[in-house]
Amino acid sequence: MKKFVWPLQRVLELKCKQEDLYRRQLVSLTEQAAGIRSRIMVARADLRLQCSQIKDAPSQTRLAKQELFLQFVHVIDNKIKSMQLKLQEIEQLRTETLTKVLHLRKERKALQKLRQKAIEQFTYEQNRLDRKNLDEHANIAFVRNLIAAQVNPGV
């Protein structure tokens, strides 16, 4: 029986590798987005904490703390905005990567179905050829026995 060789096997392997690569990239982008989200939440929590500390401060020091807070709040606000922009960029990349992963998965599954059908067809053809060979051998053996019986009728 000859070995099954599928001409598109290399394409299937490449699609699998591409899918794995994009899936790893998707995981990386998701982790980056989660990290940025947590830094944004920490920065916002820090702002709320500072506001509550100013609100709870004694009136003698509250004005100085408010003035200092107002001088530097725009820096923190700009930092949060830049992190949000970076998060949007990463989410856009993540969406594009997810689309690529889904597309590659669909292609891979289609190729796997084609491969399975090719294997089934190959197996069917091999079984058919094996049956044909067995039939030929049986016919040859039968004809030999028939000829031998005619040549040696008493045996």
pLDDT, block means (10 residues), the chain with 155 residues: 86 96 97 97 94 87 86 92 97 97 97 96 94 94 89 73
SS3 content of the chain, % helix, strand, coil (to 5): 90, 0, 10
Long-range pairs of 23-29 with CB within 8 A, sequence gap ≥ 24: 23/101, 25/97, 26/94, 26/97, 26/98, 26/101, 29/90, 29/93, 29/94, 29/97
pLDDT of residue 153: 76
Q: Which domain holds residue 52?
A: 9-115
Q: Does residue 152 form part of some domain?
A: no
DSSP, res 33: H
Within a domain: 136: no
For residue 136 the two structure tokens come to 């030929």
Q: How far is CA 69 from CA 52, 63, 65, 96, in A?
A: 12, 10, 6, 40
| Residue 65: inside a domain | yes
Query: Tokens representing 130?
Result: 């094996």
| In a domain? residue 133 | no
The pLDDT score that the predictor gives to residue 57 is: 85
Domain count within the chain: 1
In a domain, 31, yes or no: yes
**With the CA atoms of 19, 24, 26 and 28 taken in that order, what torsion angle do they form, in degrees rounded to the nearest 10?**
-170
Q: Is 145 domain-assigned?
A: no
Q: What is the pLDDT of residue 1?
A: 61
Q: What's at 5, amino acid-wise?
A: V
Whole-angstrom Cα distance, residue 138 to residue 126?
Answer: 18
As to burial, measured by CB atoms within 10 angstroms (0-12 exposed, 13-18 middle, 19+ buried), residue 75 is: exposed
Q: Is residue 144 part of a domain?
A: no
- Write down the pTM of the prediction: 0.74
Residue 154: per-residue pLDDT: 65
